[in-house]
Amino acid sequence: MMLRREFLLGTLCLFLPSYSFANSDKVLIIPGHDKHTIGTYRKGIGAEYELTLKISNILYTKLNGLEKTIARQENYIEEIEHFRKNNYLWLKDTVINARNSFVEERGNREITLKIKSAVDSYAVVAWAHENKFSCMVNVHVNDARKKDRYQGFTIITSNENKGFKKSRLLAESIYSSLKKEFEPSNNPAETKGFMVVNTILMLGTKYLKNSIPSVIVECGYIGQDYNGKKINDPEIQNKYAALISKGIESYFSSNASQVTL
Ligand SMILES: [Zn+2]
């Protein structure tokens, strides 16, 4: 298993005069889902957890001048696995509390998170928090119940995250970068591809006390057509990764990341 981590080289700034990244800027890239949860799947295109890994790995190589970590390859990186094992009990308690409050508030008993998967996800968030990451970028691919009815990318943030102000700035930055090449979602529920939600575990919630700016990027719909190409095509993945990385870089270089919460 590979632990991929790179640190900002002081000399790199000499070649990037317009950027002013702080030494402490650390980005956590989280490829959505894993081999247990899989995510969405489409025959002939693939499973979401594999597609998100491919886009995330390209994003990792494209992201310049920032310290960066990718949360998993096939498995989560050792540091995260280790953290989850050592903190399992309180992580599980927190997840159960969050779920209970959620069900209580919304009165929707249909919503049942699988505890193990939820703990796996939350371990990443809690680990990022403990290791003082500057932001988390969750990479996903969307799907709709009525197949191929919708298309376009969506950026999601949570207003329950204590870092919401920064999350929104990060989301806006990635949104305007993606919009240069891709159409935002035409699904009315996704409000023109820019969504603010309450509770999503990976974005942090008031129960989970997460304050790291965090966004979910839905890289279009899994069945979406890009002039004959699909999301499993390296060219499309490359385009998404390049634009997301530009969005992250301009969030940091514009000092949006320095906004006081
Ligand atoms: Zn997903």
**Highest mean pLDDT (candidates 13-22, 101-110, 217-226):** 217-226
Alpha carbon of 98 to ligand 1 centroid (Å): 20
- Over residues 142-160, the mean pLDDT reads 89
Alpha carbon of 261 to ligand 1 centroid (Å): 28
Give the integer Cα–Cα distance in Å for 30 and 80.
12
The residue that leads in pLDDT, 101 or 221, is 221
Two tokens at 54? 């491919």
Q: Which of 47-51, 57-61, 188-192 shows the lowest per-residue confidence on average (mean pLDDT)? A: 188-192
Q: Which of 13-22, 32-41, 162-171 shows the lowest per-residue confidence on average (mean pLDDT)? A: 13-22
Alpha carbon of 23 to ligand 1 centroid (Å): 31
Q: Minimal CA–CA distance to 77: which of 119, 28, 24?
A: 28
Written as one string, the DSSP assignment of 123-175 is HHHHHHHHTT-SEEEEEEEE--SSTTS---BEEEEETTSTTHHHHHHHHHHHH
Please give the pLDDT value at position 12: 36
User: What is the CATH number assigned to the segment(s) 24-140+171-255?
Assistant: 3.40.630.40
Using the predicted structure, report yes or no on whether residue 80 has a pLDDT greater than 90: yes
pLDDT grade, residue 106 (50/70/90)? low
pLDDT grade, residue 100 (50/70/90)? confident
Using the predicted structure, report yes or no on whether residue 168 has a pLDDT greater than 70: yes
Q: Locate the domains of the chain by residue range.
A: 24-140+171-255
Please give the pLDDT value at position 140: 97
> How do residues 186-198 score in pLDDT, each as one tens digit?
999 899 999 988 7
Please give the pLDDT value at position 161: 77
Alpha carbon of 142 to ligand 1 centroid (Å): 6
Give the integer Cα–Cα distance in Å for 52 and 251.
22
Alpha carbon of 214 to ligand 1 centroid (Å): 15
Alpha carbon of 19 to ligand 1 centroid (Å): 32
Give the integer Cα–Cα distance in Å for 45 and 54.
13
The residue that leads in pLDDT, 130 or 183, is 183
Please give the pLDDT value at position 144: 84
Using the predicted structure, report yes or no on whether residue 29 has a pLDDT greater than 90: yes
Alpha carbon of 66 to ligand 1 centroid (Å): 25
